[in-house]
Structures are given as C-alpha cells and as structure tokens.
Amino acid sequence: MKKLHIIGILIIAVAIGVIFISLNNTSTYADFTEALANPDSEFHIVGKLDKSQAQVYDPKVNTDEFLFSLIDNKGISKPVVLHKSKPQDFEKSEQIVLIGKMKDGAFHANDILMKCPSKYADGAPQVN
C-alpha cells in the first residue's frame, strides 16, 4: 500500500472515532420526571422561572452558585442549583433551558440558555 492510502485510512478512522465520542456526549430534552429517573444522564430541561420561590445568589459566599426554582413544561417545580453566577436580566426571561443532571432532589445545571422577550413587537422597536 502507498503511504497516501495509509494516511487516508487513518484520517477516516480518526473521523469515525470523533463522531462516536461526540454521540456519547449528547444530552436530550426532558422534564424533571425523566431526569429524576436517570440521575447519571445529562438533560436539557425547558421551563419557566417559578416566581413564587425565592432566588438565592450571594457572590460574597460563592460567586458560582445561584439557587432558584424552575417549572418544567409538565408543571413540575424543582429547585435548581446553577453552577455559574446569576445571569443578567434573569427575571425577564420568558423561557429557560438548563443543561445538567439531577442530584439529591435538585437539578444541578452547568449551563443555562434564556429566551428573553423580543424588543420588537409587530416589527416596531419597543421603547423602554
């Protein structure tokens, strides 16, 4: 075999390996019930902020811990421990997506995505 063929085979083998590794690290969208049933798996939980529960963020104690409650799409509210600082305009978010795992009855999130209200309504910018 020529060196070029061997190099091509190696590149294909590495690409296949990378694909398999990335497939194992993917997480799925779920609700708190499914996350409770599979505590070793990582999930994306979609929901809204539970405004009836307190939010705790004290940067003097721990800058990378924000506690709040989230109501998932099935109406179940659970405590959340976000292992990041409190996001700016958190209370204004319409929808929240948390990425993490369930542990000890609380969802421990490593990342958060927020859908904030659009500043455009009917094509015209809103003035604050």
Domains annotated on the chain, with CATH? 28-117 (2.40.50.140)
Each residue's pLDDT, cut to its tens digit, for the chain (128 residues) gives: 788 889 999 999 999 988 877 766 566 788 999 999 988 889 999 999 999 999 999 989 998 999 999 999 999 999 999 999 999 888 888 899 999 999 989 999 999 999 877 666 555 555 55
Q: How far is residue 35's CA from residue 99's CA, in Å, rounded to a whole number?
A: 11
- Kindly state the greatest CA–CA separation across the chain: 70
Are 112 and 47 contacting, i.e. CB atoms less than 8 angstroms apart? no
Of residues 115, 82, 85, the one with CA closest to residue 100: 82
